[in-house]
């Protein structure tokens, strides 16, 4: 194991930094490495092996072999499940260390890593472990003297490309259904946050997954990611990230007609009616946007507030958001850490400038904290118009746009006036209004009087530019299975 020193309180001092290919840890073919930084201090954490096309080729060959002729296709479904339960147990046993690693590399508050990310990771692996031996086909009553049945088979080698906002949880969402279905995987973690995926690779080997079933190739999107997308030996690409990247992936995977599923961004409407429990709605508005420093695909970044309560609600929101505790992500009391890297930090600040230029009113925040680390003050803009950049574009940071509305039909129309369709929420005590929103807003998830309620059993994904396919739940297995129809002539 390569080592690097890190002075952060409580953090590990050595990290797995090599590629995992065919059950072995190795350097990149090129010998190159890239740096991963602590976004709270801008200090180097470690240099990580930088995979590119040559390493992706080796990883795909290993995954192909494990799938086509190796042990994985012959492993009983129940034994696949057993390995997955074992991995979940190992993650739970190492939960504190993994939570610290996630906070170190990503900058998210340790309270979130411990109490949100890691428990969801464990749950996801256990949930899909349970599915491994329950992926059934049907018998089909076709015309004639035949016996017809369907079976669901693994799609093959899955290439999985993930982002940096929930590094370990994205691994779980990708590996869980793929391994349960019997696929082998080549994972390309985000270049900003490769460390926790590599640690999960170590635990996967300990859990007993055979060589080649799980391969991990850190590196950059334009090199390692691109090679995975184009590789002939890959049957399917599952990607989470930016829509523009998804467009490229769709184009680049078209020569080989790969199956693709995408989980992309959003500009999710969070709709608060005057008749809601406004204390709960206030909590929901804050959680819905500022969780993970606003770096959530489903962030409730367009907050629609009904006109009769608008002024008072905006005042309360400003007061509450300005109290958020921003600072050292390792402090258990910290509610907000730094943004993940300089590029995201600069993107967010440029949107804050645009908001000001286009005439939105800064209620609180509105700029960087200053000093070391990529910290941005939690920001609320009020009096936002639908056509402003801060109301249209995914900012992926702690910037909330508050918009005034009058009635149900109007807010549904405005909520739907977006290219995205990932999530939506409504706060009301009127069951009719709640259902109207749930029915008519074009989004993959609708929360009523709650926000960000995730569960491994509940499908998640987007309409329109927010994605293709659904992850989690039974639906998530569809991404990793092919249907086979078998017809047998009787006599």
* Of residues 53 and 205, the one with the C-beta less far from ligand NAI: 53
Q: In whole angstroms, what is the distance from residue 167 CA to residue 177 CA?
A: 17
Three-state DSSP at 270 gives: strand
370 in Cβ contact with 147 (< 8 Å): no
In the DSSP assignment, the letter for residue 225 is I
* Of residues 109 and 241, the one with the C-beta less far from ligand NAI: 241
Q: In whole angstroms, what is the distance from residue 28 CA to residue 120 CA?
A: 31
* Of residues 17 and 344, the one with the C-beta less far from ligand NAI: 344
State phi, psi for 288 to the nearest 5 degrees. -60, -25
Query: Hey, which bits of 177-277 come out as E strands?
Result: 184-188, 214-216, 236-240, 259-263, 269-272
Q: In whole angstroms, what is the distance from residue 467 CA to residue 91 CA?
A: 29
* Of residues 240 and 261, the one with the C-beta less far from ligand NAI: 240
Counting beta carbons within 10 angstroms of the beta carbon of residue 13, is it exposed (0 to 12), middle (13 to 18) or buried (19 or more)? exposed
Strands 24-26, 19-21: pairing kind: antiparallel
330 in Cβ contact with 103 (< 8 Å): yes
Neighbouring-strand partners of residue 305: 272, 404
Q: In whole angstroms, what is the distance from residue 135 CA to residue 152 CA?
A: 7
The DSSP element (H or E) to which 207 belongs, if any, is helix 195-207
* Of residues 53 and 438, the one with the C-beta less far from ligand NAI: 53
In the DSSP assignment, the letter for residue 325 is -
In the DSSP assignment, the letter for residue 5 is -
Closest separation in Å from C-beta 299 to ligand NAI: 10
Beta-carbon contacts of 442 under 8 Å, excluding residues fewer than 6 positions away, are: 416, 421, 463, 464
CA 239 and chain centroid, separation = 9
* Of residues 171 and 179, the one with the C-beta less far from ligand NAI: 171
* Of residues 311 and 455, the one with the C-beta less far from ligand NAI: 455
Residues annotated as catalytic are: 263, 297
The two tokens of residue 387 are: 């056509």
Which residues contact ligand NAI (rule: CB under 6 A)?
161-163, 165, 188, 190-191, 220-222, 225-226, 229, 240-242, 245, 248-249, 263-265, 297, 344, 347, 394, 396
Q: In whole angstroms, what is the distance from residue 149 CA to residue 144 CA?
A: 14
* Of residues 343 and 450, the one with the C-beta less far from ligand NAI: 343
CA-based torsion, 386, 388, 394, 397: positive or negative: negative
Closest separation in Å from C-beta 165 to ligand NAI: 5
Cβ-based neighbour number of residue 275 at 10 Å: 14
* Of residues 85 and 454, the one with the C-beta less far from ligand NAI: 454
Among 154, 128, 156, 132, smallest CA distance to 236 is for: 156
Q: In whole angstroms, what is the distance from residue 316 CA to residue 470 CA?
A: 36
Closest separation in Å from C-beta 344 to ligand NAI: 6
Q: In whole angstroms, what is the distance from residue 335 CA to residue 333 CA?
A: 6
């Amino acid at each position: 194991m390569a080592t690097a020193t890190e002075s952060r309180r409580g953090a590990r001092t050595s990290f797995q930094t090599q590629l995992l290919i065919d059950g072995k840890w190795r350097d990149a073919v090129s010998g190159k490495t890239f740096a991963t930084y602590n976004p709270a201090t801008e200090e180097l954490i470690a240099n990580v092996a930088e995979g590119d096309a040559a390493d992706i080729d080796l990883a795909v060959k290993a995954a192909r072999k494990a799938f086509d002729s190796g042990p994985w296709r012959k492993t009983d479904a129940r034994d696949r499940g057993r390995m997955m339960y074992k991995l979940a147990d190992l993650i739970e046993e190492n939960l504190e260390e993994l939570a610290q690693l996630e906070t170190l590399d990503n900058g998210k508050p340790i309270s979130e890593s411990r109490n949100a990310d890691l428990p969801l990771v464990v749950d996801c692996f256990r949930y899909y472990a349970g599915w491994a031996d329950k992926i059934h086909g049907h018998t089909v009553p076709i015309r004639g003297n035949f016996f017809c049945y369907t079976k669901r088979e693994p799609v093959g080698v899955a290439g999985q490309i993930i982002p940096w906002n929930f590094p370990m949880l994205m691994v779980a969402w990708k590996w869980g259904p793929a391994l349960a279905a019997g696929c082998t995987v080549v994972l390309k973690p985000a270049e900003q946050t490769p460390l926790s995926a590599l640690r999960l690779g170590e635990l996967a080997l300990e859990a007993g997954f055979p060589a080649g079933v799980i391969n991990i190739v850190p590196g950059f999107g334009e090199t390692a990611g691109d090679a995975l997308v184009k590789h002939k030996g890959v049957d399917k690409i599952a990607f989470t990230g930016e829509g523009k990247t998804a467009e490229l992936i769709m184009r680049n995977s078209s020569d080989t007609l790969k199956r693709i599923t995408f989980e992309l961004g959003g500009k999710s409407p969070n709709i608060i009616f005057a008749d809601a429990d406004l204390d709960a709605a206030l909590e929901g508005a804050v959680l819905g946007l500022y969780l993970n420093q606003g770096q959530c695909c489903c962030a409730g970044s367009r907050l629609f507030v009904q006109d009769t309560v608008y002024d008072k609600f905006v005042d309360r929101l400003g007061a509450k958001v300005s109290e958020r505790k921003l600072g050292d992500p390792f402090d258990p009391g910290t509610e907000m850490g730094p943004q993940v890297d300089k590029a995201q930090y600069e993107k967010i600040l440029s949107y804050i400038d645009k908001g000001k230029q286009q005439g939105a009113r800064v209620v609180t925040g509105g700029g960087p904290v200053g000093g070391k680390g990529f910290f941005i003050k939690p920001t609320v803009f009020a009096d936002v118009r639908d056509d402003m950049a801060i109301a249209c574009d995914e900012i992926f940071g702690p910037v909330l746009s508050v918009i005034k509305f009058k009635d149900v039909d109007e807010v549904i129309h405005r909520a739907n006036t977006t290219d995205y369709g990932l999530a939506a929420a409504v706060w009301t005590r009127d069951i009719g209004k709640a259902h109207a929103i749930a029915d008519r807003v074009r989004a993959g998830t609708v929360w009523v009087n709650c926000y960000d309620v995730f569960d491994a059993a509940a499908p998640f994904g987007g309409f329109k530019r927010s994605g293709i396919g659904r992850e989690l739940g039974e639906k998530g297995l569809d991404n990793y299975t092919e249907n086979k129809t078998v017809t047998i002539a009787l006599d």
